Chain A
């Protein structure tokens, strides 16, 4: 209810009757259980995370004098910098790949499928609802040294020795993540394509644009919001992904989340782990905002 008071700050609340009949207050009254749950399970934990990142772990005792020592360590250590750059690099690649692969698919459903659109959308989103852990595990089976690809090619007689470069490297992480986040790209792009006023396309055709220039001058610029939405929805969570690098990344494919987990489990240095995760969210937010600004600017130039 704290939020309700904040919003209603200067509204004259004269009686209980008035209080109950105010639309806004009724709304906030109904929202308050969800808000309370979110404050307890989201806002409070994140605040504590920030606090921890300002503290220091001295062996078994926790020094609660605020300092930026953890952040100095995070930004001053080469090993962490490598992990940051790799995480951002991998998730940028995943974002580009996933969006580029999803665009034609979304275009197909939005413009070419006349009947049974619903079925196509269900077919494209059902894998997203299945266990993430199992989907990543499936890729471990596919790419492994004795895995599906290697054993398949050997039993077909195409190769005699298994490929070693398939599993336990950054490429395996990129492929697995691109598969896991496909639905995140398809839905936003599909929605933005579906919203395009078809008469604009007809007008362009009437005025002499061919299919290709029509696509680049109308369809693509108008679908940029969907593309940006998809990119953010993929880039943000993949940078902090833990399961995929842990299962298919090997040593060279480890990402920042794996280091965070190590700090919270094995090393037991929670302040450092907290600083690492906050720094990574900051980096992600920075890159995402820059990309959005640049994309908006580019679209304005095209128009």
Chain B
């Protein structure tokens, strides 16, 4: 029995390691070949070079696309996090009939293929007369980001103890000051985490931007256009490696911040005010 269990445990560990490799090896190929001194993405590697990165830094069209993506990402993450903050507060604080309907509505974008979201937004923009631009992309991204903002903030609001707010009100603070001095600091990690994660969601989106960006491409739309030209591929690899590294860093930071104060650190947050 023990032997069988040991085998099972061992087998599972091996499986877990294989699974992680399956997840990560494809991603590691981008940085690996981005330093390869060849126009072909193939083995054997033909020597170390940083010229693809130099080429990337000199590419003006890429810079414009990057700047467009950042502008859209900042708008979408700010708006979706603020909307999500109000919504999550309401959904946890007030007895609301129809709560599950609201939640279902807000998570609906996760269950609709991006292409359908993209074309229906395209129809909306042309029907209402909003020109295709970074603004229309940002509008679409607010919808795309909202489920993530609400999920992150909801878990933060659910995790905190109402008695802190009650104590503050009992001690004579008004509603606004209570929110500002008690509630806000407690939810702050959730807000930061939501801002970072929604920025990433917006930054990575290709399809909605593909339909809505008009003549101002975001970075994924720019990359898509480059993929048609084989001689551009090493440049895409360098850019891709940089994006992967950037988004992994941001996500790890976001998750780390999100876990703040969850395990008994709430007191130190309050004490720190």
Contact = CB atoms under 8 A, between A and B. Distances in A.
Interface of A: 3, 7, 23-24, 26-31, 33-35, 37-38, 40-46, 48-49, 52, 101, 104-105, 107-109, 112, 118, 122-127, 129-135, 137-139, 141-142, 144, 146-148, 150-152, 154-155, 179, 182, 210-211, 232-233, 236-237, 239-243, 247, 257, 260-261, 264, 270, 273-274, 277, 280-281
B86 A31 contact: yes
A241 B8 CA distance: 37
Contacts of B4: 211
B247 A129 contact: yes
Given A105-B15, A127-B24, A49 B90 contact: no
Interface of B: 1, 4-5, 8-9, 12-13, 15-16, 19-20, 22-24, 26-27, 29-30, 33, 40-44, 79, 82-84, 86-87, 89-91, 93-98, 102, 105-106, 108-117, 119-124, 127, 139-140, 142-143, 146, 150, 197, 200, 203-204, 206-207, 211, 220, 223-224, 227, 236, 240, 243-244, 247-248, 251-252, 255, 259
A131 B240 contact: yes
A135 B27 contact: yes
Contact of A242 (B16, B207, B220): B207
A35 B105 contact: yes
B90 A28 contact: yes
A44 B15 CA distance: 46
B114 A240 contact: yes
Q: Give the interface SS of chain A, mostly helix, strand, loop or mixed.
A: helix
Given A41-B139, A211-B5, A243-B207, A104 B12 contact: yes
Contacts of A101: 19, 22
B110 to A, nearest CB: 7
B207 A34 contact: no
Given A7-B98, A154-B43, A260-B119, 10 more contacts: A27-B94, A37-B143, A37-B146, A131-B206, A132-B204, A134-B244, A151-B42, A237-B112, A277-B119, A281-B112
A279 B97 CA distance: 33
B248 A130 contact: yes
Contact of B200 (A31, A112, A129): A129
Given A274-B119, A277-B115, A34 B94 contact: no
B204 to A, nearest CB: 4
